[in-house]
Amino acid sequence: MVARLTNMEDNINIDIFSNRNGLIVFTADPIDVANHDKGIYNAVATEAQTVSDSLHHPDFGDIRLYDGQEKNYEIKYKVSIV
């Protein structure tokens, strides 16, 4: 599992699985400024990818795609009510 997003109010978990080694998380600032310090956001988006600067750090993973080469990556989500 790469990450888990939890909605504590509705008891919903979203587990994220991927064969990529990095996950970028984007959030939208809360409409209610009082919630900012509580970590409550209006939206969240995730993007599985290879760790940044991998061209300069071979141990981060190879992101090069050569002529005729194919690469496949997976990302899966599991939604559960707890």
Residues 56, 61, 67, 73, CA torsion sign: negative
Say if residue 38's pLDDT is above 70.
yes
Say if residue 39's pLDDT is above 70.
no
pLDDT at 29: 73
pLDDT, greater one: 3 or 42? 3
Q: For 28, what's the count of Cα atoms within 13 Å in the CB-facing half-sphere?
A: 7
pLDDT per residue as tens digits for the range 5-20: 998 889 999 999 999 9
pLDDT per residue as tens digits for the range 44-74: 899 999 888 888 888 888 788 899 999 899 9
**Distance separating the N- and C-terminal Cα atoms of the chain:** 17
The model's pTM: 0.74
Mean pLDDT of 26-46: 77
